[in-house]
Chains A and B, each alone.
Chain A
Amino acid sequence: MTAYSIGSEILQILLLLFAAPAFTGWVRTVKCRMQGRTYAGICQPYRNIRKLFAKEVILAENASWIFRSTPYIVFGVTVLIGGIIPFISVDLPFAATADVIALVMLFAIIRFFTALAGMDIGTAFGGMGSSREMTISSLAEPAMLMAVFTVSLAANSTSLTHMVDVIGHGEFILRPSLAFAVLAFIMVHLTETGRVPVDNPATHLELTMIHEAMILEYSGRHLALIEWAGMMKLFLFSVLGISIFCPWGIAASGDPAGLFLSLLLLVLKLAVLGVVVVLIETGLAKMRLFRLTEFLGTAFLLATLGMLSFFILE
C-alpha cells in the first residue's frame, strides 16, 4: 500500500463528504433556473445541514434503538461506499473489499435500515413510505444488477476498479450493450435517488412521497445525518454511473499527477450530469405509483437487452 493509494482514498472520502451537498445544490440551482424560480445558490445544502446540527433532537416516546441508530448506520455505510467506488483514482485499498454485487448489497443495507426506522415509530406515514420503498427497490435492484453486469461482461470482472481500468484505459470500442446499460442505469439512478418520475425530492407532507415519508419523524442531528447521506447517495449514484460508463480521465494506479486532471474532469462530468438530471426531471411528470412497475420493468428490459446484445453483437 503506497502513500498514493492511501492519499487517493482519503481524497475520495473527503470529496464525497464535502462535495456531495454542493452537487445537490447545483442540481437544485439548475432546476430552479430552468423553472424560472429564484434560487438559493449551491451552498444552501451546507447551511441546511449546519442548521439541523444545531437543533435539538426530539424522539418519539416509543422510538427503539433501531430508530436512534439508523442515521449513524446510514451515514456510515454511505461513506464506506464512497471509499469503494473509484471516481478519482483506481488505486484504492478499500476497493478490494467489495465488488459490484457487494456494492449493491451495501445500498440495500441503507434501504433496509431506513425502512425499519420508518416503521419503528408506528406512524401511518412511515409504514406507507417503507412499504413503497421496498416495493420499488425490489424492482429497481434487479435492473441495477443487470446494468452493471453488462459492464462486467465487457470488462470480464465484477471488481469496480478493474472495470474502470479496462474501459477507461483500454482500447476504445463502441459497445452497443453499454448504450442499453446506460439507459437502464439512468432509470435506476432516478429511482434510487428519489427523483421526479418516481418520487419528488422537493415535496414534504404529500401523499405521494416515498423517501420523505420514512424520515418524517427525524429531527435535529439525526435528520442532518440522513439528509447528508441522501445527498451523498445522489452523488454516489452519479459518480458510479460516471465511473462505469464514462471513466475516461480517472487516474490510473501509480499516477499521482493524473489526480488533478481526474478531479477537474469529475467536476465537469458531474456538472453536465446535473443538467441532464434536471432536464429529465423538468421534462417528465411524476408517475402514478402503479405505473412505476412499467417504468422499472422497462429499465430491467433495457438492461437485459444490453446483456443479450453483448452476446449477439460483440
Chain B
Amino acid sequence: MSMSFAAQVNSVMAALILLTAFGLLVQRRILGLIHLFAWQGLFLCISTAIVGYITGMHHLFISSLLTLSFKVILLPYILYVLIRKLDIRRESEVLVNIPRTMMIGIALVIFSYHLTAPVTQLSTMVTKSTLAVALATVMLGLLMMVTRRHAVTQIIGFLAMENGLFFAATSATYGMPMVVELGVALDLLIAAFIFGIFFFHINTTFDSLDVDQMAKLKEED
C-alpha cells in the first residue's frame, strides 16, 4: 500500500466518521444509535491504524487497539445491556425536528472547516485535512446532546464527542501520549458504569429516562 493511497483511505475514513456523526444526529431508535456508534468507533480505529502506518508511530497501533476494544465492543455492549435491562424500546420525540437538525449540522461542518482553515494551512502533516472533520464530529456530538431529551441518547452524544476529540488528537498531533490515552480510555469505562448506575436511579425515581422530568427536582418557590 503506497503512502498516498493510505492517505486517501484515511480521508475516506474521515468522511465515514462524519457520516456516522450525522447518522447519530438523525437516528431515532436507540438500538440504531448504538450500532452507529460502534461503526464510528470502527472507522476511528481503522483511521488511527492507518495514521500509525503512514507515520511509523507504533503507539498509535496500541491506541487503535484500545479504540477497538473499548468503543467498538465494550461500550456498545454495556449500552446494549443497559437498554435491555431498562427495557427501552424507542426514543421520545426530539426537541428540534430532524431536517432542521441536519441543516444546523451542515452549518456546524462549514463553521468548523472555516475555524480550522488557518491551522490546516500552517500544518505540514498528512492528516491535516481531517482536523476539520474531527472538530465537526465534536460539535455534532454536542448538538446531539442539546437536541435530545433522552438520557441514553445524550450519553451516546457524549461518547461521540469523545470520539471526535480522539480523532482531533490523532489528526492534529498524531495522538496524545500513551499515558493520557490510557487514562482517557479508563475514564470512559468508569463513566459508562457510573452512567449505568445513574440511569437505574433516574428510571426508578421518575419511571422514565426523559431528562425533562428532572425539572421536578426543583424546589417550588
Check: B208 CB closer than 8 A to any chain A CB. Answer: no
Which B residues are in CB contact (< 8 Å) with A3? none
Distance of A120 Cα from B110 Cα, bound (Å): 45
**Contact flag A298-B102 (CB < 8 Å), given A174-B12, A305-B22, A312-B129:** yes
Q: How many residues of A contact B (CB 8 A)?
A: 21
What is the chain B residue whose CB lies nearest that of A311? B113
Check: B15 CB closer than 8 A to any chain A CB. Answer: yes
Question: B57 → chain A, closest Cβ, in Å?
Answer: 22
Contact: B129 with A297, CB < 8 Å?
no
**Contact flag A305-B106 (CB < 8 Å), given A180-B19, A313-B15, A314-B11:** yes
Check: A176 CB closer than 8 A to any chain B CB. Answer: yes
Check: B186 CB closer than 8 A to any chain A CB. Answer: no
Contact: A180 with B15, CB < 8 Å?
yes
* Residues in A140-189 with C-beta less than 8 Å from chain B: 173-177, 179-180
Question: A172 → chain B, closest Cβ, in Å?
Answer: 9
Which A residues are in CB contact (< 8 Å) with B8? 173-175
Contact: B19 with A305, CB < 8 Å?
yes
Distance of A179 Cα from B99 Cα, bound (Å): 21
Contact: A309 with B15, CB < 8 Å?
yes
**B26 touches which of A174, A180, A293, A298 (Cβ 8 Å):** A298
Which B residues are in CB contact (< 8 Å) with A312? 109, 113, 129, 132-133
Total A-B pairs, Cβ < 8 A: 62
Which A residues are in CB contact (< 8 Å) with B9? 174
Q: How many residues of B contact A (CB 8 A)?
A: 24
Which B residues are in CB contact (< 8 Å) with A177? 15
Which B residues are in CB contact (< 8 Å) with A180? 15, 19
Interface digits, A285-314 against B, CB 8 Å rule (1 contact, 0 not)?
000000001100110011011001101111
Distance of A301 Cα from B100 Cα, bound (Å): 11
Distance of A305 Cα from B108 Cα, bound (Å): 11
Which B residues are in CB contact (< 8 Å) with A176? 11-12, 14-16
Question: B128 → chain A, closest Cβ, in Å?
Answer: 10
Distance of A208 Cα from B101 Cα, bound (Å): 28
Interface centre among A173, A294, A304, A305 (most CB of B within 10 A): A305
Distance of A294 Cα from B18 Cα, bound (Å): 19
What is the chain B residue whose CB lies nearest that of A173? B8
Check: B67 CB closer than 8 A to any chain A CB. Answer: no
Check: B64 CB closer than 8 A to any chain A CB. Answer: no
Which A residues are in CB contact (< 8 Å) with B129? 312-314
What is the chain B residue whose CB lies nearest that of A307? B106
Q: List 30 A-B contacts (CB under 8 A).
A: A173-B8, A174-B5, A174-B8, A174-B12, A176-B15, A179-B12, A179-B15, A179-B16, A180-B15, A180-B19, A294-B98, A294-B99, A297-B98, A297-B102, A298-B26, A301-B102, A301-B106, A305-B19, A305-B22, A305-B109, A308-B110, A308-B113, A309-B11, A309-B18, A311-B113, A312-B109, A312-B129, A312-B132, A314-B11, A314-B129
- Known contacts A297-B98, A305-B22, A312-B132; 8 further A-B pairs (Cβ under 8 A): A174-B11, A175-B8, A176-B14, A179-B12, A305-B15, A305-B18, A305-B109, A312-B109
